[in-house]
Amino acid sequence: MTGSDDRILEFLAESGAAHNFQGIVNNFADNGEDISYSTVKRRIPKLVDAGLIREIEGKGRYYAITDRGRAYLAGELDVEEIDD
């Protein structure tokens, strides 16, 4: 887990919506946060593999936080329990 991972999870939890890579990056930039498209593109699949976010079915690739991701943010899931 990286600081970017935490911030991606926090953003998805705060927004309560699914976003694509560019939507996540645009929101970070709008808030003055420097998390690049390449970082988001590299980290999202790892967060999906860890079960912390999921891809929403439909046209395009959109991602939303899972209950497991919310448990991680709430401190109810140890980082050792997450496969990175």
**Integer Cα distance of 34 and 73 in angstroms:** 21
Give this prediction's pTM.
Answer: 0.90
| Phi and psi angles of residue 67, each rounded to the nearest 5 degrees, phi first | -60, -35
How many CB atoms are closer than 10 A to CB 42?
12
Q: Which tokens hold the place of 12?
A: 């998805």
Task: Check pLDDT > 70 for residue 83.
Answer: no
pLDDT value of residue 30: 94
Q: What is the pLDDT of residues 29-81, one digit of tens each?
A: 999 999 999 999 999 999 999 999 999 988 889 999 999 999 999 989 877 77
Region 3-76: CATH code: 1.10.10.10
Q: What is the pLDDT of residues 16-38, one digit of tens each?
A: 999 999 999 999 999 999 999 99
pLDDT tier, 13 (very low <50, low <70, confident <90, very high otherwise): very high
